[in-house]
Amino acid sequence: RGGAGKGPRARVICLANQKGGVGKTTTAINLGTALAAIGEKVLLIDLDPQGNASTGLGVGRSDRTVTTYEVLTGQTGLQQAALSTVVPGLDLVASTVDLSGAEIELADEAEPQRQLQKAIAGLPADYDHVLVDCPPSLSLLTINGLVAADAVLVPLQCEFFALEGLSQLLRTVERVRASYNPRLELHGIVLTMFDRRNNLSEQVASDVREHMGDQVYETVIPRNVRLSEAPSHGKPALVYDMKCPGSEAYMQLAREVIRRERAQANKAA
Ligand code: ADP
Ligand code: MG
């Protein structure tokens, strides 16, 4: 695949939740890996100055010479910044702490919210999916992710205040849709760190399903220590331990993501 005759451009999925530690980066890395394993060509853009997605994919600081910062400030294109990773079919645009300074510099641009969107528009049609791993805030960086995206995927940790944060995020999605990006959809909500032995996990999961209906993925990501160990080895869980429950859940999520996209495309046709 790729090159001439290829269908529409890459589908851009933004992983967002202003809460930290809910599984955005873990989902970005492992969903990206699972999609690549299915045969999709994936570009993961690390939009968090903490650079956890970059570390988790084995891209060390010394390899991060051309990063998301240079892309957002218009110094380079995404293709020039894309690095290959330990996963065939999964490329990465890495980030460093420099990115935290970009927020101030972007304020001088004519359309600071559209820097990532413009960069993605210049991307050749080689990729099937672009995943954007957002920082834990609703800052200008996350807004850039939402403005550039076709759809937002929300990792939601199964804990008490989960729904409260979600409504704030959904209001932001609504504002971005109204002001900048009318095609932005909610791709879905994925419940993460689910612990079947914990009643609270069950309770939160059923509350979220009651409020959000079929916008919640059927796939639930279990709490699994392999998922948290893998990044320190610079590998996705799916490479570190393909058979662990976390890896299997992310494979299932990738298939569900693709199913949903096909169903939406059929509806639109
Ligand atoms: P975020 O990007 O939203 O801040 P992370 O994906 O970095 O969240 O996850 C926060 C922490 O929880 C990390 O240490 C990560 O390894 C761990 N973690 C994420 N998902 C799981 C899971 N399903 N089971 C166990 N640990 C997890
Ligand atoms: Mg993160």
Each residue's pLDDT, cut to its tens digit, for the chain (269 residues) gives: 334 434 458 999 999 999 999 999 999 999 999 999 999 999 999 999 999 999 999 999 999 999 999 999 999 999 999 999 999 999 999 999 999 999 889 988 899 999 999 999 999 889 999 999 999 999 999 999 999 999 999 999 998 888 888 999 999 999 999 999 999 999 999 999 999 899 999 999 999 999 999 999 999 999 999 999 999 999 999 999 999 999 999 999 999 999 999 988 888 88
Which token pair is 202?
Answer: 């069950």
Cβ pair 33, 59 in contact under 8 A: no
State the Cα–Cα distance between residues 145 and 13, nearest whole angstrom.
9
3-class DSSP assignment, residue 137? coil
Cβ pair 190, 27 in contact under 8 A: yes
**What pLDDT sits at residue 269?**
81
Q: What letters, b where the CB count within 10 A reaches 16 and e where it falls short, cover 98-122? A: bbbebbeebeeeeebbbbbbbbbee
Which residues in the chain belong to E strands, given as ranges?
Answer: 11-15, 42-46, 83-84, 90-93, 129-133, 151-157, 185-194, 216-222
**What pLDDT sits at residue 2?**
38
Report which protein residue has its CA nearest ligand 1's atom 5. Answer: 23
State the Cα–Cα distance between residues 91 and 79, nearest whole angstrom.
10
- What is the CATH number that goes with domain 11-268? 3.40.50.300
State the Cα–Cα distance between residues 94 and 106, nearest whole angstrom.
18
Cα 238 to ligand 1 centre (Å): 15
**What pLDDT sits at residue 164?**
85
Of 14, 26, 52, the residue with max ligand 1 atoms within 8 A of its CB, to mutate for a pocket test, comes to 26
Q: Is 112's C-beta closer than 6 angstroms to any atom of ligand 1?
A: no
Report which protein residue has its CA nearest ligand 1's atom 14. Answer: 228
Cα 150 to ligand 1 centre (Å): 24
**What pLDDT sits at residue 162?**
83
Q: Complex ipTM, two decimals?
A: 0.99
**Count of C-beta atoms within a 10 Å radius of residue 222:** 18
State the Cα–Cα distance between residues 78 and 88, nearest whole angstrom.
18
**What pLDDT sits at residue 8?**
58
Cβ pair 32, 89 in contact under 8 A: no
| Ligand of minimum distance to the alpha carbon of 29 | 1
According to DSSP, residue 6 is labeled -
Cβ pair 3, 142 in contact under 8 A: no
